[in-house]
Amino acid sequence: MNPSATSPTPPTPPSSASPATPHHPAPDRPIRVLVADDHPAVRGGLVALLEADPSTQVVAQAADGDEAVRRARAERPDVALTDVRMPGATGIEITPALRELGARVLVISAFDLDSYVLGALAAGADGYLVKTEEPRRILDAVHAVASGDAVLSSAATRAVVAALRSEQAPGEPAQGAQGGSGRDGEDPRASARAAWSTAPANTDDSAASSSRSATWGPAPGVELTRREEDVLRLLAQGMSNQQIARELVVEVTTVKTHITHVLGKLQVDSRVQAALWWQQHRE
């Protein structure tokens, strides 16, 4: 019997145990990628893009969220590239299960709605891109999340910043989700705080999430070198380490060193938090 003709099996919810350590591809083998999208043309385009790059290998495809989890369980990809809106379980809903299976999750969607961006990050996604990105940007993002980086499109970064800026002053009574709500009526500001506090650390291959509370870090007068400001500005535009290195004509290791210094000076744990700090204090 054709497995695709059977009723979809709901994804197994994450257990209370710690998630599996994300896979770190060996330098001598391609990055193993699962592509999940319910539109055949889009899915085929992403597969063709990835297969054309010898450093990436598509090991599984899925047309809905439930199938994506089944295929991830069978193939154990390094990276899951998933759409948000799919039949059955959504890309956001399956993100914890994919992370539980050891995959890094890169969400790619036609929509940059705040509720999608914040929901994906709060669920544990390592990155969020829109489908209008250049092909090279998508490839770079796959490589970035595979190596432990977090990648956000400019629109995704703006969504988090806007949600955090909309928070009420201390002591002000809650008034609900103004300007749009998240999934199931969730206040997007709560998702923003969750995204802030769980944004993956990414100056190295660490899979640990930030444990800090939602805070903007030190005052805007923090002293950064000219080069650190250049790196932080490009990081806030959603660039990966590889893209920043190309833009500044330096080695990727140099970019990582600068980011490490920046995170220390800003007293934050991840590049996502650093990007938000830049947009709050310097733009």
Over the stretch 90-134, which tens digit does the pLDDT of each residue have?
999 999 999 999 999 999 998 877 788 888 888 889 899 988 888
pLDDT surpasses 80 at 173: no
pLDDT score for 174: 36
Least confident segment among 43-52, 246-255, 266-275: 266-275
pLDDT at 6: 46
Q: Whole-number mean pLDDT of the chain?
A: 76
**Residue that the structure tokens 């993002």 belong to:** 141
Return the higher-pLDDT residue of 36 and 113. 36
Confidence band of 168 (pLDDT split at 50, 70, 90): very low
Check residue 20 and give its pLDDT: 56
Break the chain into its structural domains and give their ranges. Answer: 8-156
Radius of gyration of the chain (CA): 18
The answer to whether residues 123 and 162 touch, using CB atoms and an 8 Å cutoff, is no
Q: What percent of the chain has pLDDT over 90?
A: 40
pLDDT of 170 above 70 = no
Looking at the predicted structure, is the pLDDT value of residue 155 above 80? no
CB within 8 A of 271, min separation 6: which ones? Answer: 149, 150, 199, 202, 203, 235, 259, 263
Q: 19-23, 57-61, 107-111: lowest mean pLDDT where?
A: 19-23
246 or 217, higher pLDDT: 246
Average pLDDT over residues 179-205: 45
Q: How many helices (H) and strands (E) does the chain have?
A: 11, 6
More confident residue, 11 or 226: 226
Q: Which DSSP category does 209 fall into?
A: B
Q: Is 200 helix (H, G, I), strand (E, B) or coil?
A: strand
Question: Cβ contacts of residue 247 below 8 Å, gap of 6+?
Answer: 234, 239
Give the pLDDT band (50/70/90) at residue 220.
low
pLDDT at 7: 44
The CA distance from 173 to 130, in Å, is: 35
Phi, psi of 225, deg, nearest 5? -70, 165
196, pLDDT greater than 70: no
Which element (helix H / strand E) includes 158? helix 154-165
pLDDT for 28 beyond 60: yes
Q: Is the pLDDT reported for residue 206 higher than 50?
A: no
Tokens of 22: 């994300």
Using 50, 70 and 90 to split pLDDT, how confident is the model at 62? very high
- Tell me what the mean pLDDT of segment 195-208 comes to: 41
Given this structure, which CATH class describes domain 8-156? Answer: alpha beta
Rounded to two decimals, the pTM is 0.64
- Residue 199: pLDDT above 90? no
E-assigned strand segments in the chain: 31-36, 56-62, 79-82, 104-109, 127-130, 151-152
